[in-house]
Every structure is written in C-alpha cells, then in structure tokens.
Amino acid sequence: MVRVRDVSKEFEQFVSVCFAMFNRELFEGDRRNVVRAWFDVLGDVDVELLRVKYVELATVSKVMPTPGLLRRHVFADLISDIVSPAVAWGQLQGLRVALNSGVERPVLSATVVETIQKLGDVVFGLTTNGDREYFLEVYRDVCEKRLVELLRVGV
C-alpha cells in the first residue's frame, strides 16, 4: 500500500485563506476532506507559488477558483500550445489554403499537428460544417489527453 504524504499545516492554512478570500466558510466537519482534495490536486506545487497564483485568479474571478483551475493557472506556460477549437480550425484551414496555393505554411500549435497526424490525409479535404465538427471532436480528445499528461499530479 502506498503511503500518501501528510498535509502540512502551511497547506491547510493556504486552503483556509482561499475560502476566506471568497467569503466562504470552511466547515470544521468538512475541513479534512476539503483540504485532502485540494492537496491531492496541488500537493506537489510549492505553497508560496500557489498563494501568488491564487491571488492572481481571485482578483479577476467572480466565483471561487477550483483546485483544478488553479493547477492549470500554475502550469499555464506548459499548456499554452493548446489553442481554442476555433483557432485550431482556423489553423487547419490556413494550412489547407497555403498548401493549395503554394504560399508559406502557417505555424501550427502542437495539438493541431497531433490532430492532423491522427486524422491523416483526409484532414485536408475537411471544409464543411460537419467536417469542422468531426475535426473538433478529435481535436478536443487530443487536447484532453495532452492536458492529462501535462497536468499529471506528482504527489
């Protein structure tokens, strides 16, 4: 059986402050489970870095950020190549036009390249709304798998 690291008092205090920033009460009966849930997602990140990143989110968010959102914010530079579905479709169409007209190829994000590789040559014939939905479905799967890899918790 794998022994899970103990939650530090510093981390527990951090979670309490997060709740206080949004004027939310962390009930004593729930404290242990809530802190453990936050620790399971964020326990491998330095608490001081978490504080800084949480304040960044808290100043612009109307609702309390979740531990998962905070983790994505902390590692935003790792996931910056994951573009929105609309941008991904635009990159694909830009590549298709460039290849057909002989102009310089546009720069593609890594997730778009991976999606193109997954779909194969058929991707260059995708132009209709239905084609777009098909591409975006595969693109979302690629992005989800990439996020899981990049944001894997190392506790």
Count of CB atoms situated within 10 Å of the CB of 128? 9
For residue 80, the model assigns a pLDDT of 82
For residue 137, the model assigns a pLDDT of 97
Binned average pLDDT, 10 residues per bin, the chain of 155 residues: 64 95 92 93 93 94 94 88 93 92 91 95 91 96 92 77
CA distance 57 to 60: 6
Sequence-distant (6+) residues with CB within 8 A of 53 are 70, 73, 74
In the chain the domains, ranked by start, together with CATH numbers, are 9-74 (1.10.8), 85-150 (no CATH)
Model pTM greater than 0.85? Answer: no
For the chain, what is the radius of gyration of the CA atoms?
Answer: 21
For residue 5, the model assigns a pLDDT of 61
